A and B are shown apart, each in its own frame.
Chain A
Amino acid sequence: RKEVEQDPGPFNVPEGATVAFNCTYSNSASQSFFWYRQDCRKEPKLLMSVYSSGNEDGRFTAQLNRASQYISLLIRDSKLSDSATYLCVVNSGGSNYKLTFGKGTLLTVNP
């Protein structure tokens, strides 16, 4: 089993749609979790951290289920500018930040 597995995608949705990305991780000792966004031919950038209590940033909501070792990202009211690859990232190194990235899920938002 891969350390971090994501929905393979790609996702094609119309503007205004709600889209959800799912991710599972295998290392139960993992301590912190993130979603990164990567635009085509650009570097990954932190979108948001994921907390056990769930957290929201505008149209983006992240959830963590430690018991199921499952992470999700929900995007509401999709915009054209949300088109990108979304990378699920798991830190198993504590403050040493040993990050393991998923393969990413490509989202295309269509007009």
Chain B
Amino acid sequence: EAGVVQSPRYKIIEKKQPVAFWCNPISGHNTLYWYRQNLGQGPELLIRYENEEAVDDSQLPKDRFSAERLKGVDSTLKIQPAELGDSAVYLCASSRRGNTIYFGEGSWLTVV
């Protein structure tokens, strides 16, 4: 079974530029998560989807971050404009509801 797939793996952008990350969850997993992990910290939830509905986006900085999961499968996370403090690993994860969460390898963002 294929795992959670994310792209790009690495991205370097200048501040104020936009950036987007893509995630394809494990087949059959209706719950999708985006986490952000800063260096030396644990992952922090940005947004959680149940199918195409964002059921928890309380930690998403909505002034510059947006996310979508239009057909309840793939998802994109966008930052516009990026700031230096956005440098982090953006982890996508998926699960069947109430079951183990599986993470993708992450998208490493560096804002310069």
Contacts and interface: CB of A to CB of B under 8 A. Distances in A.
Given A94-B98, A101-B43, 19 more contacts: A43-B104, A43-B105, A44-B91, A46-B100, A46-B102, A89-B42, A95-B98, A96-B55, A96-B56, A96-B97, A97-B31, A97-B48, A97-B98, A98-B45, A101-B42, A101-B44, A103-B40, A104-B40, A104-B41
Contact of B42 (A94, A95, A103): A103
B101 interface: yes
User: Which interface residue of A42, A43, A96, A98 has the most chain B CB atoms within 10 A?
Assistant: A43
Interface string A85-101: 00101000011111111
A97 B101 contact: yes
Contacts of B41: 103-104
B101 A99 contact: yes
B34 interface: no
Q: Give the size range of A's interface with the partner.
A: 10 to 19
Contacts of A87: 42-43
Interface string B14-42: 00000000000000000100000000111
A46 B101 contact: yes
A1 to B, nearest CB: 16
A98 B100 CA distance: 12
Contacts of B42: 4, 87, 89, 101-104
Contacts of B95: 97
B105 A44 contact: no
A59 interface: no
B91 A43 contact: yes
Contacts of A96: 48, 55-56, 97-98
